[in-house]
Amino acid sequence: MSDFLIRFAHPAARGLAALSLLAAACAAHADGPNMIRNGSFELPDEGADGLYLGSGDDWFWPSNGALAGPRIIRGNIDDGIGDGMTYGATHWGNQYLDLAGESPDGLASDQQMVSGFVAGAKYKFTVWAANIDNSPVVKLQIKMDNAAGTVYAKRHIRIPTGGPWNTKIGFKAYSFAFASPVTGPLWVTLSNHISPFTGGPAQIAIDNVSLVQVSDDTPVDFVMAPSMGE
């Protein structure tokens, strides 16, 4: 499947790109309540700054054989390679999700079962992501499937090189609209997806995840088609 469709500009960008970003961010929250629970990864409250292995409340660490798990980062922590840099702080609360990818079989995933879809209704999914280790090739995979293993969407987002930032993480918003193929729940899975694997650290910071129902006249970015398998 092709690379991700839409990229929005950095929050610091000026002009039309910034206006588009603002419109997209507002639209993501104006149409309906957020169907994603704990989309800011503030729960559980880890209490002290640090890096904690875990998926976050309402999220699950899928048993996909990966050696690396999802991690919650609280605060603005050292990047761990002795260069005196810190990753930067998140724009939303105190915590964010970190998907690590230190080895080909160590690509971290985090997932949530989202309930309440209505077949034919339109939805918009938005995730804010950042490449906090400045890795040359990093992709975030977003998969939507049901409990029976039918995959309806698998999108790959190339995350540009970036951090560590020392101050605020340079998150960018990525968003797509779709018509639900089902009435009921869907699993939404976020994965670090390096292709090809280039070695070295590759961490994707994730925060402010939302999935909202939008108006029926919203253009869809792709048509969901069921397929089987990973």
When the beta carbons of 21 and 209 are compared against Ca ion, the nearer one is: 209
Could you identify the residue written with the tokens 């559980």?
44
Residues that bind Ca ion (CB under 5 A): 40, 92-93, 95-96, 207
Closer Cβ to Ca ion, 125 or 178, answer by number: 125
Shortest Å distance, C-beta 73 to Ca ion: 10
Cis peptide before 196 (omega within 30 of 0): yes
Min dist CB 72 to Ca ion, Å, is: 9
Minimum gap (Å) between residue 55 Cβ and Ca ion: 14
Specify the residue for token string 């729960």. Answer: 43
Q: Of 87 and 96, which has the nearer Cβ to Ca ion?
A: 96
Q: Which CB atom, from 38 or from 180, has the smaller least distance to Ca ion? A: 38
In terms of C-beta density within 10 A (0-12 exposed, 13-18 middle, 19 or more buried), how is residue 74 classed?
A: buried
Measured between its terminal Cα atoms, the distance across the chain in Å is 13
Where do we find the tokens 């503030």? 42
Residue type (1 letter), 229: G
Kindly state the smallest distance separating residue 14's Cβ from Ca ion, in Å: 26
Rg of the Cα atoms in the chain: 17
CA 10, 189, 143, 65 dihedral sign is positive
Beta carbon nearer to Ca ion, 95 or 189: 95
Whose Cβ is closer to Ca ion: residue 8's or residue 128's? 128
Determine the distance from the C-alpha atom of residue 122 to the mean position of all C-alpha atoms in its chain, rounded to a whole number: 20
Tokens of 129: 């992501």
Closest contact distance (angstroms) between CB of 93 and Ca ion is 4
Q: Minimum distance between the CB of residue 95 and Ca ion, rounded to whole angstroms?
A: 5
